[in-house]
Chains A and B, each alone.
Chain A
Amino acid sequence: MALEVDEKNLKQGLLGLVVALVEVIQDLVERQAIRRIEGGSLDEDEIERLGKALIDLDEAIEKIKEDNDLEDVVNSVMGSLDDVAEDLLNKFLNPESWAEEVDEK
């Protein structure tokens, strides 16, 4: 990559990566919460408490992103993660194309 790596970039890059991963976990936790509610294993108060905790988490993440100007970096990481995931999925479904690529190298 032709981007200059200086201290600020590096910090932003690493922070961005961390936040992106946290967002992935947030998403998983939220889905898990929905499943538990649908499964009927939580009462009204528990649901409300869980929801509030999730709101707090969301607000904290948004604040970190805003304070460190991470919106674009995080989006980019998410995009790359999508690409990597898609790539891996394709290779998994099409092992021949994986073999082709190795050959070319």
Chain B
Amino acid sequence: MKEGRYIYSVVSSAVESELGDVGIGESRVYLVPCGEIAAVVHSCVAEPYVTKDEEKAKEWVLEHSYVIDLATDRFGTLIPFSFGVIFIGDDDSVRFWLEENYDLLKEELEKVRGRSEYTVQIFCDEDLIKEKIVTSDPELLKLRDEIEKMPKGTAYIYQKKLGLKVKEELIKETNRLAGEFGVYIEELVDEVKIEKKVSWIPDKYKGMMMIAAFLCLVSDGNVDALGNLLDGIDKREGFSVRFSGPWAPFSFVQLKGT
């Protein structure tokens, strides 16, 4: 059975040290340094971590996440690895890879130093916005009034027509707002990405319409300012902001050419 090294992240550190038996399956997690950077690893067999047991899988992923948090605590913002990356070989194999990619890794670490990833999701009360749309458009208001007086079948069709028009305006307006929010957010953060697929939102936002989902790389010094901005949005009637973080910069690390 070949030896392997499971890698959690690359950190800024020039010295050997260890984090303790805090890794996946209580593995001993330690640093393999190379120059001014180091890989955070644990020793294992060079076999992939696979299981059909979902409980076990969940445990592993959480343990990996825990190590990332611990290492971030100790060494500052790091380059986080996806779950399950294993080098075949020993510490020297890891060291060799670090050497080969030294400049790239150093650059990436520099880019994320003193920064963290935050999720910003902006929700709105659809009905509230729709009401505002109707009341601020005299034609739509007129149509709504007339529908009250129509016979059943006719009213149904015109109601559908009103609904479609309002929906169309809703999309235009929420897109405009999202764009505006995006511009303000961009001012305060180092980098922003649009989150294309949001897999989960907490219960308190269910039933609201999500109008924007951003992933932001934010300097520690700017988090408060961003919080202020988001607070301003959150306090507007019908809006709710989810501000989650700090996370390790998972969405912002790209090691091209490794």
Contact = CB atoms under 8 A, between A and B. Distances in A.
Complex A–B touching at CB under 8 A: yes
Interface of A: 2, 30-31, 33-34, 37, 44, 47-55, 58
B153 A51 contact: yes
Nearest to A27: B160
Contact of A54 (B157, B161, B164): B157
B153 A30 contact: no
Contacts of A30: 157, 160
Nearest to A44: B154
A52 B150 CA distance: 12
Contacts of B155: 51
Contact of A55 (B54, B153, B161, B164): B153
Tell me the interface secondary structure of chain B in the complex.
helix
Contact of A49 (B54, B153, B164): B153
Contacts of A49: 153
A91 to B, nearest CB: 13
B207 to A, nearest CB: 12
A31 B161 CA distance: 8
A54 B156 contact: yes
Contacts of A47: 153-154, 157
Interface in B156-175: 156-157, 160-161, 164
B152 interface: yes
B151 interface: yes
B152 A52 contact: yes
A37 B161 CA distance: 10
Nearest to A55: B156
B205 to A, nearest CB: 16
A54 B153 contact: yes
Query: Across chains A and B, which 7 residue pairs bring their CB atoms closest together, nearest first?
Result: A51-B153, A52-B153, A48-B153, A51-B156, A51-B157, A34-B161, A30-B160
Contacts of A33: 157, 160
A72 to B, nearest CB: 13
B86 to A, nearest CB: 19
B84 to A, nearest CB: 16
24 contacts: A2-B54, A30-B157, A30-B160, A31-B160, A33-B160, A34-B157, A34-B161, A37-B157, A47-B154, A47-B157, A48-B153, A48-B154, A50-B153, A51-B151, A51-B152, A51-B154, A51-B155, A51-B156, A51-B157, A52-B152, A53-B153, A54-B157, A55-B152, A55-B153
